Amino acid sequence: MPDLKLTLSAEDLGADKGLLVEWVKELGDWVRKNEVIAVCRADGREVSLKAPVQGVLKKILVEPNTDFEADAVLGILRTVMGGT
């Protein structure tokens, strides 16, 4: 099961920097593809970090109320084959 880096690009954010507001999921939580994992804010608007594939939230690298640069690794998703 490969690990996947969770990021938001400048295009996703609409800005070069963002603020991680909250993690909707906790470490070890199962997530489905396109499910919201975290909520961020950039340039005055809310941006959702969604799971690109199904898996388990393995690591949280950016804590809530922390600024981050576009393309920074916010967390790690352990991917799981099969299902949706």
For the chain, what percentages of helix, strand and coil (3-state, to nearest 5) are there?
5, 50, 45
Containing structural domain, residue 71: 3-79
Q: What is the CATH number of the domain that holds 36?
A: 2.40.50.100
Q: What are the pLDDT digits (tens) for 21-70? A: 999 999 999 999 999 999 999 999 999 999 999 999 999 999 999 999 99
In a domain, 54, yes or no: yes
In a domain, 13, yes or no: yes
Q: State pTM to two decimals.
A: 0.91
C-alpha 39/C-alpha 41 separation (Å) is 7
In a domain, 84, yes or no: no
Phi and psi at 62, nearest 5°, equal -120, 120
Half-sphere exposure in the Cβ direction for 64 (13 Å, CA): 9
- The per-residue pLDDT for 80 is 80
In a domain, 68, yes or no: yes
**Number of structural domains found in the chain:** 1
In three-state secondary structure terms, 3 is strand
